[in-house]
């Protein structure tokens, strides 16, 4: 009964595809999920990733002498300032979690207290303090501050580090009393410098100042299609098995590859619909550039979706109920979300985990989609390794899924 | 290949299914143990047996869905390892309903028709014919999931018959079907068998078993008894019982026993086993009944008796 080598009967494949489309078409909820959920998700991601922060609670203990700085901090919209009388008050409020940080301003010194639990907030406070300390005609924001000048007030940073023992014993809070509050060397010392340092010029090779969304958008496009195709396919195949139809058409001329191929054909229609809506949001709402051929991008997405479908078919064999299918999300989807360079570059993933990244299809689709959309790459540019990997992944999992379907019945 | 009209009855083998010493265990549980069955072509063969006796397992083995631990099995002349070659000629109705609840009845039928390469006018014709047969023609555009249990079962049968199979494997096809339609189904099955189809059917209903040519009674994966319903009753040693109301049952019973009859008193009624019908007169000569009736044994009685014997 080894029929993997059989030629596919295209009529039967079409019969299955038509049935799949009819089923999905009738399932309004799923259609809605397929088309609108990505839009909703993209909009959420888009705003969450726009990089703007607000509502940072910053304490100020002002002993005078740095008017430029105080004025500047007051002018930053992101900061909600709270004026305090002493450094120990500020410390107390930080420990209580009511402030993200505090700036103690003296004539000859600026001390920054941070709760240190969010690198983004830390860097936002640091940037603004540095900006506020610069002479008015100084460096523009975004350029580097370098050198080890002696002049200006010393900026001392104290991090109320979060290594202070979450779960620390003995009744003291998250920040133990022995944590280096006020340890001036916690993050090293920053010194503001005068404007004589060499000017630094940045030039973007693709002539475009990428925002976070521009880099994430193309990759998320793949993620959305992968996620929904995987889940829908896994549940569909599970139903075939539990409702007995799989067993019934095992005893028919339909071969397993034909069945999977029929699903592929039927689902590809919806994957296209889905990627089209997501794509439109990414490009027209968030202004992510589309420098390459959209057809190339769709080809990548379809190839990825095909991989997700057969992976769903494969995993459906390990689930007995739809509830168990949902349990695959943390096992199959989450690692890809974290490890495949959708949100941050692969280079920032520790080297010993990176081999895993290299076997995840999303790694390659993200790379390919970025290349096509941002750099205008063509098929030949992304053939190796991206398309090759995605195709190989599909073929191998297709084979495995087909074999598993059989095993399950026996 | 499976055009009913030009299938030549002589060219088929004599037996549609030949099973010899089948063995199958699920883990430690022995589900088929040394099961041998031969099912002649054009027969309605009924598998009876308590829940879990292995009926479904045997049908799945015939369908090539099981890896057997031992034994020989051939289906429509093919060894079971090659059974996929005869799949176009098999109709398999599982104990599950195997329909897509989100499709209409028509769409479900079209799907199964398509799998067997039935299309166009032939398909429409076949579908309306079968929907008529299972009395669902008026519902063809309804969503399958909204059907009643019996309707579901009827649609499932219609889907199984779409390609006019030579061998029908029907696992409890009439569960939940009302008596009138059940009667119609059975007439249809008889019809198919007459035309040369082989029907292997499981049921828990004795009146259905009684309609089959051969009945096999399974228990714990073995074939306990096999034969026509009449043969089985004889095998179980069952005889018609003459039930009589008499004035003095005890005295009559003694008199009959003396005359060599198997007589007993049950709840004030005199019961006499009748080996042969001509013995009836002898009994009536010995007693003076106020009222009487002759009760023929049922297949159910036969199986109860057989089961008791096995227990001992
Ligand atoms: N895939 C399986 N895995 C484990 N055990 C199984 C499997 N299939 C069947 N069994 C067991 O084999 C035994 C026979 O099951 P089977 O379905 O053949 O019974 P059946 O005669 O059809 O019963 P019913 O009248 O209830 O339909 C049962 O004990 C069942 O639990
Ligand atoms: Mg059963």
Q: List, as one string, the DSSP characters of A305-367.
A: HHHHHHHHHHHHTT-SSHHHHHTHIIIIIHHHHHHSSSSS-GGGS-TTTHHHHTT-HHHHHHH
pLDDT of res. A52: 63
Structure tokens at A230: 């995987």
**Alpha carbon of residue A254 to chain centroid:** 41
User: Per mean pLDDT, which range of A109-113, A336-340, A403-407, B31-35 is the poorest?
Assistant: A403-407
With beta carbons under 8 A apart, name residues in chain A contacting B81: 1
Over range B115-139, report the average pLDDT.
94
- The CATH topology of domain B15-234 is Rossmann fold (3.40.50)
Relative to the alpha carbon of B57, which ligand is closest?
Answer: 1
Angle, in degrees to the nearest 10, between helices A212-242 and A256-280: 150
SS3 of residue A80 by DSSP: strand
CA atoms within 13 A on the CB side of B44: 21
Smallest Cα distance from A5 to chain B, Å: 14
Instruction: Give A246 Cα–ligand 2 centroid separation in angstroms.
Output: 17
pLDDT of res. A159: 53
The residue assigned the tokens 């023992």 is A165
What would the pLDDT profile of A363-405 be if each residue is shown by its tens digit? Answer: 999 999 999 999 999 999 999 899 999 999 999 999 999 988 8
Which of A270, A258, A261 minimizes the C-alpha distance to A229? A270
- Whether B145 has its CB under 8 Å from any CB of chain A: the answer is no
Model confidence at A7, in pLDDT bands (50, 70, 90)? low
Q: Is the CB of B52 under 6 A from ligand 1?
A: yes
pLDDT of res. B54: 94
Structure tokens at B178: 């009302």
**DSSP for A256-318, written as a single string:** HHHHHHHHHHHHHHHHHHHHHHHHHIIIIIS-----S-HHHHHHHHHHHHHHHHHHHHHHHTT
**Which of A246, A248, A407 is the best substitution to test chain B (most B C-beta atoms within 10 A)?**
A248
- Name beta bridge partners: B307: none
Residue B63's closest chain A neighbor by CA? A251
Domain ranges of chain B: 15-234, 240-296
pLDDT of res. A167: 33
Q: List the Cα angle B235/B241/B242 in 5-degree steps.
A: 155
- d(C-alpha A229, C-alpha A268), whole Å: 9
Domain ranges of chain A: 10-49+211-404, 56-204
pLDDT of res. A342: 86
pLDDT of res. A304: 95
CA atoms within 13 A on the CB side of A189: 18
Query: Do the Cβ atoms of A11 and B117 come within 8 Å?
Result: yes
CA torsion through residues A82, A83, A87, A92, sign: negative
Residue B26's closest chain A neighbor by CA? A410
- d(C-alpha B74, C-alpha B76), whole Å: 7
Residue B95's closest chain A neighbor by CA? A244
Domain B240-296, second-level architecture = 2-Layer Sandwich (3.30)
With beta carbons under 8 A apart, name residues in chain B contacting A252: 87-88, 92, 112, 115-116
What would the pLDDT profile of B21-30 be if each residue is shown by its tens digit? Answer: 999 999 999 9
pLDDT of res. B238: 80
Model confidence at A316, in pLDDT bands (50, 70, 90)? very high
Query: Do the Cβ atoms of A22 and B95 come within 8 Å?
Result: no
Q: Residue A15 is nearest to which of B60, B63, B111, comparing CB atoms?
A: B111
Which of B202, B205, B134 minimizes the C-alpha distance to B170? B202
Do residues A335 and A324 lie in contact, with contact meaning Cβ atoms separated by under 8 Å?
no
Query: Do the Cβ atoms of A244 and B88 come within 8 Å?
Result: no
SS3 of residue A162 by DSSP: helix
Start-to-end CA distance of chain A, whole Å, equals 12
What would the pLDDT profile of B168-209 be if each residue is shown by its tens digit? Answer: 999 999 988 899 989 989 999 999 999 999 999 999 998 899
Structure tokens at A152: 């200006």
- Whether A203 has its CB under 8 Å from any CB of chain B: the answer is no
Query: Do the Cβ atoms of A12 and B115 come within 8 Å?
Result: yes
Query: Do the Cβ atoms of B117 and A23 come within 8 Å?
Result: no
- d(C-alpha B103, C-alpha A111), whole Å: 70
Query: Do the Cβ atoms of B112 and A11 come within 8 Å?
Result: no
Do residues A236 and A20 lie in contact, with contact meaning Cβ atoms separated by under 8 Å?
yes
Neighbours of A182 (CB within 10 A): 15
**Alpha carbon of residue B233 to chain centroid:** 16
pLDDT of res. A12: 94
> Do the bridges between strand B167-171 and strand B90-93 make them parallel or antiparallel, or are there none, so unpaired?
parallel
Query: Do the Cβ atoms of A1 and B83 come within 8 Å?
Result: yes
CA-derived radius of gyration, chain A: 28
Which residue did the predictor score with more confidence, B307 or A360?
A360
The DSSP H or E segment spanning B242 is strand B241-245
Across A41-50, A62-71, B132-141, the highest mean pLDDT is recorded for B132-141
- d(C-alpha A26, C-alpha A286), whole Å: 32
> Could you tell me the pTM of the whole model?
0.76
What would the pLDDT profile of B198-231 be if each residue is shown by its tens digit? Answer: 999 999 998 899 999 999 999 889 998 899 988 8
pLDDT of res. A230: 94
> Ligand 1: which atom is nearest the Cα of residue B60?
18
- d(C-alpha B15, C-alpha B36), whole Å: 13
pLDDT of res. A158: 54
Q: If you take atom 2 of ligand 1, which residue's CA is the nearest one?
A: B26
Q: Residue B102 is nearest to which of A3, A26, A410, comparing CB atoms?
A: A26
- d(C-alpha A102, C-alpha A84), whole Å: 9
Q: Residue B115 is nearest to which of A1, A243, A252, comparing CB atoms?
A: A252
SS3 of residue A84 by DSSP: strand
Model confidence at B38, in pLDDT bands (50, 70, 90)? very high
The residue assigned the tokens 């004589």 is A196
**DSSP for A198-233, written as a single string:** PP-----TTSS---HHHHHHHHHHHHHHHHHHHHHH
CA atoms within 13 A on the CB side of A403: 7
């Amino acid at each position: 009964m080894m029929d993997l080598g059989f030629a596919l009967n295209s009529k039967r494949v079409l019969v299955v595809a038509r049935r799949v489309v009819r089923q999905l078409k009738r399932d309004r909820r799923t259609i809605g999920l397929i088309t609108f959920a990505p839009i909703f998700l993209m909009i959420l991601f888009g705003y969450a990733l726009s990089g703007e922060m607000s509502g940072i609670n910053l304490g100020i203990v002002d002993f005078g002498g740095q008017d430029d700085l105080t004025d500047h901090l007051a002018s930053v919209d992101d900061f909600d300032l709270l004026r305090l009388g002493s450094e120990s008050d500020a410390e107390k409020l930080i420990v209580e979690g009511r402030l993200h940080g505090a700036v103690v301003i003296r004539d000859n010194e600026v001390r920054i207290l941070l709760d240190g639990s969010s690198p983004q907030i830390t860097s936002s406070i640091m940037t603004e303090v540095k900006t506020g300390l610069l002479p008015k005609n100084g460096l523009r924001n975004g350029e580097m501050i370098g050198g080890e000048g002696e002049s200006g007030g010393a900026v001392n940073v104290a991090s109320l580090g979060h290594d202070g023992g979450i779960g620390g014993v003995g009744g003291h809070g998250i920040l133990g009393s022995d944590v280096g509050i006020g340890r001036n060397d916690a993050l090293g010392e920053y010194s503001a410098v005068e404007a004589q340092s060499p000017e630094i010029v940045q030039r973007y090779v693709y002539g475009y100042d990428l925002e976070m969304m521009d880099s994430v958008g193309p990759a998320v496009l793949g993620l959305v299609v992968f996620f929904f195709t995987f889940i829908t396919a896994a549940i569909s195949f599970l139903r075939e098995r539990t409702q007995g139809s799989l067993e019934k058409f095992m005893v028919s001329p339909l071969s397993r590859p034909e069945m999977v191929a029929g699903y592929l054909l039927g689902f590809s229609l919806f994957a296209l619909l889905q990627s089209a809506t997501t794509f439109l949001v990414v490009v027209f709402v968030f202004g992510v550039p589309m420098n390459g051929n959209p057809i190339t991008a769709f080809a990548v997405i379809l190839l990825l979706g095909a991989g997700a479908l057969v992976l769903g078919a494969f995993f459906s064999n390990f689930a007995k109920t739809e509830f168990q299918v949902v349990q695959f999300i943390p096992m199959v989807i989450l690692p890809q979300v974290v490890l495949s360079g959708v949100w941050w570059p692969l280079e920032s993933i520790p080297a010993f985990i990176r081999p895993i990244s290299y076997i995840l299809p999303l790694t390659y689709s993200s790379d390919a989609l970025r290349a096509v959309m941002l750099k205008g790459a063509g098929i030949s540019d992304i053939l190796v390794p991206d398309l090759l990997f995605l195709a190989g992944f599909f073929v191998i999992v297709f084979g495995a899924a087909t074999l598993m379907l059989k095993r399950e019945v026996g | 290949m499976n055009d009913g009209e030009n299938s030549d009855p002589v060219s088929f083998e004599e037996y549609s299914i030949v099973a010899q010493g089948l063995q199958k265990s699920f883990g430690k549980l022995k589900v088929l143990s040394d099961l041998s069955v031969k099912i002649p072509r054009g027969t309605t063969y009924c598998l009876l047996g308590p829940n879990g006796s292995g009926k479904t397992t045997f049908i799945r083995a015939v369908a090539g869905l099981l890896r057997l631990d031992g034994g020989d099995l051939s289906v429509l002349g093919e060894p079971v390892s090659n059974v996929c070659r005869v799949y176009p000629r098999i109709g398999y109705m599982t104990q599950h309903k195997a329909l897509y609840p989100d499709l209409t009845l028509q769409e479900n039928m079209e799907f199964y028709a398509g799998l067997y390469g039935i299309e166009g006018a032939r398909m429409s014709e076949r579908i309306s014919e079968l929907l008529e047969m299972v009395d669902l023609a008026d519902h063809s555009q309804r969503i399958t999931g909204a059907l009643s249990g019996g309707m579901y079962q009827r649609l499932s049968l219609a889907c199984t018959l779409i390609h006019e199979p030579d061998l029908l494997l029907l696992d409890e096809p009439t569960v939940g079907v009302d008596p009138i339609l059940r009667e119609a189904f059975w007439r249809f099955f008889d019809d198919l068998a007459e035309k040369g189809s082989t029907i292997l059917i499981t049921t828990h209903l004795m009146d259905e078993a009684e309609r089959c040519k051969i009945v096999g009674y399974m228990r714990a994966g073995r074939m306990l008894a096999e034969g026509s319903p009449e043969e089985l009753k004889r095998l179980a040693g069952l005889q018609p019982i003459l039930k009589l109301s008499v004035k003095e049952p005890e005295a009559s019973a003694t008199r009959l026993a003396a005359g060599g009859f198997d007589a007993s008193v049950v709840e004030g009624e005199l019961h006499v086993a009748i080996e042969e019908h001509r013995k009836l007169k002898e009994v009536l000569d010995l007693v003076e009944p106020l009222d009487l009736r002759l009760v023929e044994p049922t297949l159910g009685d036969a199986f109860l008796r057989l089961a008791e014997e096995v227990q001992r």
